Amino acid sequence: MKSSQEWVPPPGTAALIFDCDGTLADTMPAHYCAWLSMLRPYGIPFPEDRFYAMGGMPTAQIIRVLAQDAGVSLSEAEVERMVHCKEEIFLRHLQEVRRIEPVVRIAARYRGQFPLAVASGGYRHTITRTLVHLDLLDWFDVLVTAEDTPRHKPEPDVFLEAARRLGVPPATCVVFEDTDIGLQAASRAQMLAVDVRPWREAWGTSLRRQ
């Protein structure tokens, strides 16, 4: 795979769409710690490999799946309280979050040449706070989050809504994602999907060597 410095948009590209968590922002370790802290009183397990496999799904949806699998009965009010608790724990660790530089460099390079969007399964308040912390919010023309579509990744709705708001055909969009379900959602939207995980892993390795 080419490095992010070598990546160029294919002919016909009209817009670039970025996931946030794990794509633009190195939030996944902080999110996982928040999940473990929130779930501990309920005795609900959440192995790390499953956490990454479910990346891109809204928090409430993940809670319902985990609770059902663990045989824990939760009311909708309890689910909402758990969502709030998990997001608040994450935000307390927001200062630890860094930009994922190889992906951010692409946004920086093509900002002004193409309209840019963030399309995330996260909640608007949390995604906005994350982008503000990283000084990235005003780079993007459109922000689509979990509240904006009835269905979520791996369904294509969040990416289709981003294209609609940008005013471009879905097939002319390039999506940058870090999860299998996000890549699947982009494919279902008939968009070219770029898996940023090799770039993120190489970037993380270089940081550890410093």
- Under 8 Å between Cβ of 81 and 67: no
Q: Is 49 a catalytic residue?
A: no
**C-alpha–C-alpha distance, residues 67 and 43, integer Å:** 9
Phi, psi of 75 (to 5 degrees): -80, 165
Residues belonging to the chain: 210
Catalytic residue chosen out of the listed positions 19, 21, 26, 195: 19
The sheet that has 142-144: what strands, in order across it? 142-144, 116-119, 15-18, 173-177, 192-195
Rounded distance between C-alpha atoms, residue 61 and residue 50, angstroms: 14
Amino acid making up residue 58: P
Which residues are catalytically annotated? 19
